[in-house]
Amino acid sequence: MNVLLVDDSSTMRRIQKTQLENFGVDKIIEAGDGEEAMEKLETSMPIDIILLDWNMPVMDGLTFLKEVRKKSEYSKVKIFMCTSESEKPKVFEALQAGANNYIVKPFSPEALKKKLEL
């Protein structure tokens, strides 16, 4: 399984990366904002899952999500929004825009594993 981690917090990316490595995920690509994520997605396919932060500079998570869902070549890529508790009311908008699921930060390895069905 190949995962694209998108978060402007390098600390958050490191935590998630460690969790995913422990689950035996094959390839983990990182990006610090939506624009970088789009470049990485274009050059790193096949990607199975994108773990997507909401608030980021340059291009936020929701904008990136909408851009990805405009492109048919990425229709099979699953997108999970990583939200804080305070962002939870916005989750519906992300699901409407094509996110497959969401996970509330901070999450345990078990919660991540369950969500990703690893």
Residues near Mg ion (CB under 5 A): 8, 53, 55-56
Cβ-contact 54, 105 below 8 angstroms: no
Nearer to Mg ion, 11 or 72 (CB): 11
β-strands 27-31, 2-6 pairing: parallel
Q: By C-beta, is 24 or 89 nearer to Mg ion?
A: 89
CA quadruple 17, 23, 50, 84: dihedral sign = negative
Q: Least distance (Å) from Mg ion to the CB of residue 9?
A: 6
Q: Please say whether the beta carbons of 5 and 16 come within 8 A.
A: yes
Q: How far is the CB of 33 from Mg ion (least distance, A)?
A: 9
Q: CA neighbours within 13 Å on the CB side: how many for 30?
A: 14
The residue among 26 and 55 lying less far from Mg ion, judged by its C-beta, is 55
DSSP for 82-109 reads EE-GGGGGGHHHHHHTT--EEEESS--H
Rounded to a whole number of angstroms, the minimum distance from the CB of residue 61 to Mg ion is: 8
Between 53 and 68, name the residue whose CB sits nearer to Mg ion: 53
Report, in Å, the least distance between residue 42 CB and Mg ion: 22
